[in-house]
Amino acid sequence: MYIAVVFLPLLGSIIAGLFGRVIGDRASQVVTCTGLGLSALCAALIFQTVAIDGHSVTVPLLTWIKSGGLDVSWALRFDTLTAVMLIVVTFVSFMVHVYSIGYMSHDHSIPRFMSYLSLFTFAMLMLVTADNLVQMFFGWEGVGVASYLLIGFWYHKPSACAAAIKAFVVNRVGDFGFALGIFGTFFLFGTVGFDDIFAAAPSKAQTIVHFFGCDVNAITIVSLLLFVGAMGKSAQLGLHTWLPDAMEGPTPVSALIHAATMVTAGVFMVSRMSPLFEQSETALAVVTIIGAATAFFAATVGCVQNDIKRVIAYSTCSQLGYMFFAIGVSAYPAAIFHLFTHAFFKALLFLGAGSVIHAMSDEQDIRKMGGIGKHIKVTCALMWIGSLALAGIPPFAGHYSKDAILSAAWASGSTSGHIAFFLGMGAAFMTAFYSWRLLILVFHGKPRADDHVMGHVHESPLVMIIPLLVLAVGAVLSGAVGHDMFVGEENHEFWRAAIAILPDHTALASVEHVPDWVEHGPLVLAVSGIALAYLLYVVFPAVPSFLATNLRGLYLFALNKWYFDELYDFLFVRPAFKIGRGFWQGGDGALIDGVGPDGVAAAAKDIGRRVALLQSGYLYHYAFAMLIGIVAIVSWYAFMAH
């Protein structure tokens, strides 16, 4: 069971990937979906055993690297944290697999797509079940590769290729930080195994290393480096630019990778490393600030985007920010709880968006939609559920997890926690606003699409709707059901050793004691956000464009995503290209090729020509050469003799 949960998707991927052409589209779909279905079943059983009954398990597989002090083995680690992730990953992935059968039915390379999906799932499972940092890095890179393949699935689209490369490169930056973090960990602890690291962490809390001329706390450095890795995968401010572009991939990919699983890998990793992060106040503060800033930033951008998937993508970015600042205030359970609920409602939103796009003949611009709610009632209802959950309206799932995070941020009592709280409140308001902006523009009001498109609007097939329904159940119930388990009074019973929180980090414990306005504030803001969206887009539809014209600077700033892409383009991409071109044309072309191969070849050719020219064909030249040779040699000896 423990091995099956991880390796069934790999098996499915291999079968569909290598033999997809032989066994055909349908069989590929069946194989991968079955693999995932069984895997999800195993995950449920494991959740029962490990999380509910409390039997943590580590399944050793084999020794991987044994070199000097470095001892890395393959082992599957199952504790509560892993069990939660298993549920999220396998269930969402299963739903996405099933959904893909319908969504990708017109595609030409279905086996390839299904194989990539399963491969991704395998890598993600490898990541969450890792027993040491190196194995986690394997899964980490595996999801990176699979995500590259999936974003660039439609490789004939230049924009998809560019997005895939961008995602990969930006992730490399994070991965580099992660790799350095692993090196640092090994340097500090002499091991990469989690158990040993966690056991040794408290004793190393005060270790100081000399770094670039300053003395710094070793754990802080290692934690921050690991966090850089997390930022890359989880699209936190600064390394977030790839996520919106990644929407070039097929919509199921967006739902699987960019809502429920890969982007949450960073959150998972930091939670997994909680014993380490707990030892460094600095690192936690940095995580809090970055997370809160991301939550706020992404929400502002989400308010003005016009591509349905990009709105949801920025929303994801923003929600990931929430999770990180929850971590920053040591409310890891709240972060994982939000991860858990978010996975359901965000996957629902993405898949719902896919259904909309499907209905609108591949139109993604919400300005060209409108009024299709009455044609696709089920999708519309499901999107409403997803949005209600996202906005945090009770009793939907988001309400529980988001409130827990915001309360914890306030309850932490620290400055960074309070900054995070206020930014989070602002983001909550905007979240509700952009969610309803999207709903209203897409489903309500007058149709803005042409008649041809409107005539084609149709509900998606059952194979797409059923996964949506399942996810919708999760979006409705997961908050209420999970609340007590994840963040309730008795959450220690649930998490046990999976998450470590220092006793004086009491944010989560004192959630129940926050003032009323903190407790109810998010709901009020969410409702007012919805109301504002209603006012602006239903009652006074002229206002948005009026605002956009009169606050042009602000509008463009948000629309252009705070100019991050342009800034990076200017700071990194162009200089990199310039340096690359310099090395290529100047260094390699002119210098190495010019002086080296080309230069030598040209010189050789020239010398060859001259040598051949000596061969005049005249007899007396030849005789002359011989005599000159004799004379030269004799003179040499005559000269030497004296």
Partner 1 sequence: MITADLATVLPELLLALAGLGLLMFGVFHKGDATRVVSVLAILAFAAALLVMAKGDTQSITAFNGLFQVDRFTVFSKGLILLAAAFTTAMSVDFLEKEKIGRFEYPVLIVFSTLGMLTMVSAGDFLTLYMGLELQSLPLYVLAAYNRDNQRATEAGLKYFVLGALASGLLLYGISLVYGFAGTTQFSSLTLVLGATEGAAPSMGVIVGMVFILAGLAFKISAVPFHMWTPDVYEGAPTSVTAFFAVTPKIAAFTLLIRVLEGPFGQLGHQWQQVIVVIALLSMFVGSFGALGQNNIKRLLAYSSIGHVGFALVGLAAGTEMGIQGVLVYLAIYLFMNIGAFAIVMLMRRKGVAVEGVDDLAGLSKTHPALAYVMAGVMFSMAGIPPLAGFWGKFYVFMAAVQAGLWTLSIVGLLTSVVSAFYYLRVIKVMFMDEPKGEFDRHIGKPAKLVLVLSTAVIILFSIFPGPLLSSAKVAAQVLFPG
- Please give the residue ranges that form the binding site for partner 1 (CB under 8 A): 601, 604-605, 607-609, 611-612, 614-615, 617, 619, 621-623, 625-626, 628-630, 633-634, 636-638, 641
Q: How many CB atoms lie within 10 A of CB 319?
A: 29
C-beta of 588: minimal distance to partner 1 in Å? Answer: 21
Do 496 and 56 touch, CB atoms closer than 8 A?
Answer: yes
Please measure the distance between the N-terminal and C-terminal CA atoms of the chain and give it in whole angstroms: 96
In angstroms, the CA 381 to CA 397 distance is 16
In angstroms, the CA 417 to CA 424 distance is 10
In angstroms, the CA 32 to CA 10 distance is 9
Burial of 589 (0-12, 13-18, 19+ CB in 10 A): middle
| CA dist list (Å): 292 to 298, 322, 432, 449, 559 | 10, 6, 17, 37, 20
In angstroms, the CA 460 to CA 365 distance is 19
> What are the φ and ψ backbone dihedral angles of 207, each rounded to 5 degrees?
-65, 135
Q: How many CB atoms lie within 10 A of CB 379?
A: 26
C-beta of 597: minimal distance to partner 1 in Å? Answer: 11
Q: Helices marked H in 190-264 — which ranges? A: 194-200, 218-233, 242-245, 251-255
Nearer to partner 1, 524 or 628 (CB): 628
Nearer to partner 1, 515 or 629 (CB): 629
Nearer to partner 1, 190 or 608 (CB): 608
Q: Helices marked H in 551-596 — which ranges? A: 552-559, 564-568, 574-581, 594-595
Q: What angle do CA 426, 309, 343 make, to 5 degrees?
A: 70
In angstroms, the CA 263 to CA 153 distance is 18
**Which contacts (CB < 8 Å, 24+ apart) does range 485-490 have?**
486/333, 486/334, 486/336, 486/337, 486/340, 486/401, 487/331, 487/333, 487/334, 487/337, 487/400, 487/401, 487/404, 487/511
C-beta of 605: minimal distance to partner 1 in Å? Answer: 6
Per-residue tokens: 309: 């998937």
63 beta partners: 73
DSSP 118-175: HHHHHHHHHHHHBSBHHHHHHHHHHHHHHHHHHHTSSTTSHHHHHHHHHHHHHHHHHH
Nearer to partner 1, 208 or 607 (CB): 607
Nearer to partner 1, 556 or 634 (CB): 634
SS3 270: helix
Do 234 and 175 touch, CB atoms closer than 8 A?
Answer: no
Q: Can the peptide bond before residue 515 be classed as cis, meaning omega within 30 degrees of 0?
A: no
C-beta of 570: minimal distance to partner 1 in Å? Answer: 46
C-beta of 603: minimal distance to partner 1 in Å? Answer: 10
In angstroms, the CA 436 to CA 530 distance is 6
In angstroms, the CA 56 to CA 457 distance is 50
SS3 78: strand
- Residues with Cβ within 8 Å of 486's Cβ and at least 6 positions away in sequence, in order, are 333, 334, 336, 337, 340, 401, 494
Do 396 and 348 touch, CB atoms closer than 8 A?
Answer: no
Nearer to partner 1, 550 or 635 (CB): 635
Do 35 and 97 touch, CB atoms closer than 8 A?
Answer: no
C-beta of 587: minimal distance to partner 1 in Å? Answer: 23
Nearer to partner 1, 65 or 607 (CB): 607
